[in-house]
Amino acid sequence: MNVLVIGATSAIAKAVSRLYAGRGERLFLIARDKQRLKEMAEDLTVRGADSVSTSTLDLLQHDQHSKAIETAVSFLGSIDVALVCHGVLPDQERSEEDFAAAAEALDVNGLSVISLVTELATTMKQQGNGKIAVITSVAGDRGRQPNFVYGAAKAMVSTYLQGLRGKLLSHGVEVIDIRPGLVDSPMTAHLDKSVLFSSPETVASKIVKSIDRNRHTVYAPGYWRFIMLIVGSIPEVIFKRLKF
């Protein structure tokens, strides 16, 4: 199987790539940091990947996206699974005061994802098969005070994927929206950890299973579906007063 991983150096992407490497798949990795991509390619090769190639890309340069996907296709031949993982947890307070910061957060977590998904959809439509899996977040389910800029970007992507899923149905292309809860990774290193945090490995095995089984919207771990169901059912009168 040929797997493309975008935002490959994120903790979740790393864990997912290792699972695919262990299964002997071919991998193409895209991220910003060349050194880390090199390290990751070596790691995945030791872990059993059939072959690994990488390419650097600044994901905010939307006009480079099309070329990046082309490079991936020329290495992989065809893309069976494309996983879009990149994201940044912005400083919420700063984004509220400074729109430029908010715009950048919305771009990294939202627009750049949609740009890449557009390219992937085109490629996979031509192939007549493939799976597009995108890491969104439970933060997109309801706007909460501590992270609604991040949440808004993720919600935008989730809504986009919902529509795209139907559009690609007749082309044999699957669209999988993965919503992790709190993940204990370098992105959340500054936060205090509670029992609600899961390891990137736990989330990764759920992701790989969900892609294998062509799921639509996946909460990882699964209990986040119930947590968000409860969070979603709190009346706004009360919710607007909650600071969590």
Partner 1 sequence: MQLEGWGRYPRVDAELIEPATAQALIKLLDESKEQSTLIARGAGRSYGDSSLNAQVLSSRFLDSFSSFHEESAKIRCHSGVTIDELLKVSIPKGLFPAVVPGTKQVSIGGAIAADIHGKNHHRDGSFCDHVESLTLALADGEIKTCSAKKNKELFHASCGGMGLTGVILDATLVLEKVPSVFIRSQAIATHNLAHTIEQLETLNDNKFVVAWIDCLARGEALGRGIVHTGEYAEDAPMEYVRRWGPSVPFSTPSLMLNRYSMSWFNNLYYWLYNRPSNVDLDSYDSFFFPLDSIKHWNRLYGRKGFLQYQFLLPEDSAQQGMQAVLERVADAGKGSFLAVLKKFGAANENLLSFPGPGLTLTLDFKYESSLFPLLEELDEVVIDHGGRHYLAKDARLSAETFKAGYPNWPRFKAVKDKVDPQQRFSSLQSQRIGLTSAAEDKPA
Applying CB under 8 A, the span of 77-85, 91-99, 188-196, 218-226 interacting with partner 1 comes to 188-196
Give yes or no for residue 189 binding partner 1 (CB under 8 A): yes
Give yes or no for residue 72 binding partner 1 (CB under 8 A): no
Q: Of 46 and 100, which has the nearer Cβ to partner 1?
A: 46
Alpha carbon distance 203, 178 (integer Å):
10
The single residue of 150, 160, 219, 223 carrying the catalytic annotation is: 150
Give yes or no for residue 22 binding partner 1 (CB under 8 A): yes
> Contact 113/86 with Cβ under 8 angstroms?
yes
Nearest one of 82, 111, 80, 107 to 7, comparing CA atoms: 82
Question: Can you count the helices (H) and strands (E) in the chain?
Answer: 10, 7
Q: Of 22 and 77, which has the nearer Cβ to partner 1?
A: 22
Alpha carbon distance 142, 146 (integer Å):
11
Cα angle 85, 27, 219; round to 5 = 35
4: part of which helix (H) or strand (E)?
strand 2-6
Give yes or no for residue 196 binding partner 1 (CB under 8 A): no
Site for partner 1 in 88-127 (CB under 8 A): none
Shortest distance, CB of residue 196 to partner 1, whole angstroms?
A: 15
Q: Of 33 and 98, which has the nearer Cβ to partner 1?
A: 33
Q: Of 33 and 70, which has the nearer Cβ to partner 1?
A: 33
Q: Which residues pair with 82 in a beta bridge?
A: 4, 132
Give yes or no for residue 186 binding partner 1 (CB under 8 A): yes
User: Who contacts 109 (Cβ-Cβ below 8 Å, separation ≥6)?
Assistant: 87, 88, 90, 150, 153, 154, 157
Alpha carbon distance 228, 225 (integer Å):
5
Shortest distance, CB of residue 61 to partner 1, whole angstroms?
A: 23
Catalytic, 160? Answer no
Q: Of 22 and 232, which has the nearer Cβ to partner 1?
A: 22
> Contact 130/82 with Cβ under 8 angstroms?
yes
Give yes or no for residue 128 binding partner 1 (CB under 8 A): no
Binding mask 30-69 for partner 1 (x = CB under 8 A): -----xx--xx-xx--xxx---------------------
Residues that bind partner 1 (CB under 8 A): 11, 22, 35-36, 39-40, 42-43, 46-48, 186, 189, 192-193
Active site residues: 150
